[in-house]
Chains A and B, each alone.
Chain A
Amino acid sequence: MTTNVEIMKTKAEKAFAEHFASVSGSLPSDAVALDARQAAMSRFDELGLPHRRIESWKYTDLRNALTVDVPAVGDATAVSAADLDAALGPLAGLDTYRAVFVNGRLDEGLSTLPSMTGVEIGSSSGAPAMDDALAAESIVALNTAFVTGGLAIKIADGVAVDKPLMIVSARAGGSDLLVTTRHDVSVGTKASLTLIEAFASIGGTAGQSNALVTITIADGGRLDHTKVGATVAISDLATWRAHLGNEATYRAFQLIPGAPLARNQVFVTFDGEGSALDFATAAMGNGKDHIDSTIVVDHRAVGCTSRELFKGVLDDSARGVCQGKVIVQQIAQKTDGKQMAQALMLSEDCEFDSKPELEIYADDVVCGHGSTSAEVDPDLVFYCRSRGIPEAEAKVLLTESFVAETIDHVSSESLRDALSEIARNWLAANHTK
């Protein structure tokens, strides 16, 4: 006897399917053609939303977390430069090129793109180049199904882009929106680029964000990549997928200043020898924030170095999740991998889940990981107070110093200063105990 088991769809899964059916015809076909969107949607239908029985989503059960209706897909909306700068806060003052997306659609008027030889900037189009890592992720399928825009950035061999490129993903209009973008970044041989992804909200517009970035760094190339999460309450789903050639450098940093639901997943594969990854992230949460940072590093070549540093500042009943998986394939001798996860627990009710995973098939490697969780040192608070610094300010200062260690991984001084200011502003506004 056989029984057909039909897996029950959750409310959110059904909502995505229904929403897709109603809007798919109007989604831009130059970004992704309708049949490719439909193919992605049927893959989503097979995969469903990730849940806690999928190991890599153990602590972030989207089936439970996403129970609300899917917000409407955003439309192009006029935004003033002044409002945008206000929403960008300390990032607005940086000397960068800008590509501004409003509700997932490029606003050329607000953008200043580089016009130098060897820098080619167009629109991302078609389904992304898939591999096993991306194929397993249903939020990537959703990205392809709903994407409305994004850049295709190509830096030619030997070209060092003279200023950072800041891609702004702004949301505006007031009501909850689904904003879906995809950027494809290709850094040529011995080329270099500093890329900043800034998420901003105008007029308190919230909702859901699904952002995918695919990255290839050719031999001797370098990418400095920084993400700054939005300071409004959005569900922030983001995927970075990077492939590195020989002697390539990828320095990645993420600052998440609070989010009711954030999942930042980063997949890095070393295809070439002697390359280096430096990944650092600072997550700050309070209230019922849930901030998940997950990285999978796949060493497939000899002599690569990977460093990951996670820091979480958790208050109230916020939950921080840090998962770091390092795979060292048999061929990847002389791999040097280190990982550290640290949480500063500011309340009795916060939670920090730290899960390092090492899968090592080579025998001549150095791999290590560590994890700590602690509260603000009361002796140091007293030392500050004895010098006249009020208790709340002392705690902000000490908490900021904890976060600062991650920001120190960012190469650009002016960007570091802006990031420190964003972190300080968040701590001063939210950490008042």
Chain B
Amino acid sequence: MLEINDLHVKLAQEDKPIIKGLSLAVPKGEVHAIMGPNGSGKSTLAYVLAGRDGYEVTSGEVLWNGDNVLDMEPEERAAAGVFLAFQYPMEIPGVAGLTFLRTATNALRKARGDKELTTPEFLRLVKEKGAELNIDIEMLKRPVNVGFSGGEKKRSEILQMALLEPTMCVLDETDSGLDIDALRVVSEGVNALRSPERSMLMITHYQRLLNYIVPDKVHVLAFGRIQKSGGKELALELEQSGYAEYTDAAA
């Protein structure tokens, strides 16, 4: 279970607060969506959960299965099961996709006390998981994400998620930059990973993604805090009314 209690965050270099008293709970096995207008703090929340530098938590706590996530290094969070699917997955010139995936998979297995995979075992696993996402092994011989289309980058993120077996997935604008076919493939990949052991937090601007990955709950984030929570129908409401009541004009 993910519990965020009265979280306050600002940029490390500036005094302006971005997240101002956010509280949220995602029980084990549930998929929650966070929707909100641009600038509401959605991506900041994603980065703070993953432990990126440049943000300062001024108060509040984030607990994952009772442990304080904010005290952990990014790699310790990954070992504890936290995974962020990036809005803009990074390109790593010179590092082959397979090398990157094997290094990460085995680093996590080691940290979690599992036996590291041999190269044949790993390759079998990648082929199997990659096939479900239309990812060919040849594509993974190229440097990580270099020269990939938007859709290929997102599929590659989901493949990482499948291999690294996280229990708390944060998906940051996973639908951005995807055409309808790519969106379907990515969504099917995510849906295949839904399980009673795995919680997910989907951050999105548009309702569209939620037609494919149906959430258990929807939260509206604006002005740095959750303004409203409800069932999946809340997303449809937002699609009708827009974010007008959650923007500065309405405030």
Contacts and interface: CB of A to CB of B under 8 A. Distances in A.
Contacts of A397: 95, 99-100, 103
A390 B75 contact: yes
B103 A402 contact: no
Interface string B77-112: 111000110100110111100011001100110010
25 contacts: A382-B50, A382-B51, A382-B52, A384-B92, A384-B100, A384-B104, A385-B78, A386-B78, A387-B78, A387-B107, A387-B160, A388-B79, A388-B104, A388-B108, A388-B111, A389-B75, A389-B104, A389-B107, A391-B75, A393-B107, A397-B99, A401-B94, A401-B143, A405-B93, A405-B94
A385 B75 contact: yes
A398 interface: yes
B74 A386 contact: yes
Contacts of A388: 75, 78-79, 104, 107-108, 111, 164
B73 interface: yes
B73 A391 contact: yes
Interface residues of A, number: 21
Contact of B93 (A385, A391, A393, A401): A401
A386 B50 contact: yes
B179 interface: no
A379 interface: yes
Contacts of A393: 103, 107
Interface residues of B, number: 29
A372 to B, nearest CB: 13
Contact of A385 (B74, B86, B94, B160): B74
A386 B51 contact: yes
Interface string B59-81: 00000000000000111011100
A378 B107 contact: no
A78 interface: no
B181 interface: no
Interface of B: 50-53, 73-75, 77-79, 83-84, 86, 89-90, 92-95, 99-100, 103-104, 107-108, 111, 143, 160, 164
B94 A382 contact: no
Interface of A: 378-380, 382-391, 393, 397-398, 400-402, 404-405
Contacts of B111: 388
A138 to B, nearest CB: 39
B92 A398 contact: yes
A263 to B, nearest CB: 28
A389 to B, nearest CB: 5
A393 B78 CA distance: 15
A210 to B, nearest CB: 34
Contacts of B107: 387-390, 393
A402 B77 CA distance: 27
Contacts of B84: 386
A426 B129 CA distance: 34
Contacts of B79: 388
A383 B108 contact: no
Contacts of B92: 380, 383-384, 398, 401
Given A382-B74, A388-B78, A405-B94, 14 more contacts: A380-B90, A382-B51, A382-B52, A385-B74, A386-B50, A387-B104, A387-B108, A387-B160, A387-B164, A388-B104, A388-B108, A389-B107, A397-B95, A401-B93
